Amino acid sequence: MGRRIQIQGKDGTFGAYVADPQSGSAGGPAIVVIQEIFGVNHVMRDACDWLAAEGHTAVCPDLFWRIEPGIDITDKTDAEWARAFELFKAFNVDAGAQDIAATIAYLRSAGHTRIGSVGYCLGGLMAYLTSARTDTDASVGYYGVGVDNYLGEAAKIRTPLMLHIAEEDGFVSRDSQARVKAALTSPLITLHSYPGRDHAFARVGGKHYHVGDAATANQRTVDFFATHLK
């Protein structure tokens, strides 16, 4: 069972879900879990719990707090999808990046010297920007939407980044994927493509969930953080 905290950001205070490893929350590696367009819901909390079981303190900040605090919806109904896309359209990427930076600063102030980030969907884009704009030590993005719109920031990446790309992503065209692959050639960046997979193939219970490739991507993520958050 996780706990709730409040983080002071540049524009105000926002909530976050925290899952602690069995060893406790003091020190040790930490990971910022960056939400999808459904808010800090059970999928994101489960991601935090999974990473805590791997030995990390995992924190998922509420990035929609400026629009509406405490968004917690699913991908199961048309009404929830409509609300999720409203939130996505209203979301300010730059403000969200500031909130992630504030979350990293909070973790460093709590004694965590090695901090990573992992994001999904919208969070996949934000993980990429976290790698470019913050002092995170390692970042992972799953099927990020809109990364190709920010390729000009790739030169600012100074720490390891790994991206999981769904080749049949309904929200990321093949042309967009090709631009990402052509631009992100730094030795710091690792790209993994998943043939036949659609968006959110790692979302347990989702329409496009694929147990085999989700397990492969998740193991790659665990190994990546084990290497870079020592």
Instruction: Give the pLDDT of residue 22.
Output: 87
Residues 6+ apart with CB under 8 A from 118: 31, 32, 33, 34, 47, 51, 127, 139, 140, 141, 142, 221, 225
Q: For the domain with range 3-228, which CATH number is right: 3.40.50.1820, 3.50.7.10, 3.30.1360.20, 3.30.1180.20?
A: 3.40.50.1820
DSSP state of 206: S
Q: What is the DSSP string of 76-110?
A: SSHHHHHHHHHHHHH--HHHHHHHHHHHHHHHHHT
Residue spans per domain, the chain? 3-228
Per-residue pLDDT, 27: 75
Q: How far apart are the first and last CA of the chain?
A: 25
Active-site residue flag, 199: yes
What's the pTM value of the predicted model, to 2 decimals?
0.97
Predicted pLDDT at 26: 65
Active-site residue identified among 164, 199, 210, 228: 199
Which member of 169, 198, 208, 213 is catalytic?
169
In this predicted structure, what is the pLDDT of residue 72? Answer: 98
Residue 24 has a pLDDT of: 67
Over the chain (230 residues), what is each successive 10-residue block's mean pLDDT? Answer: 93 97 81 98 98 96 98 97 98 98 97 96 98 98 98 97 98 98 98 98 97 98 96
What is the reported pLDDT for 23? 79
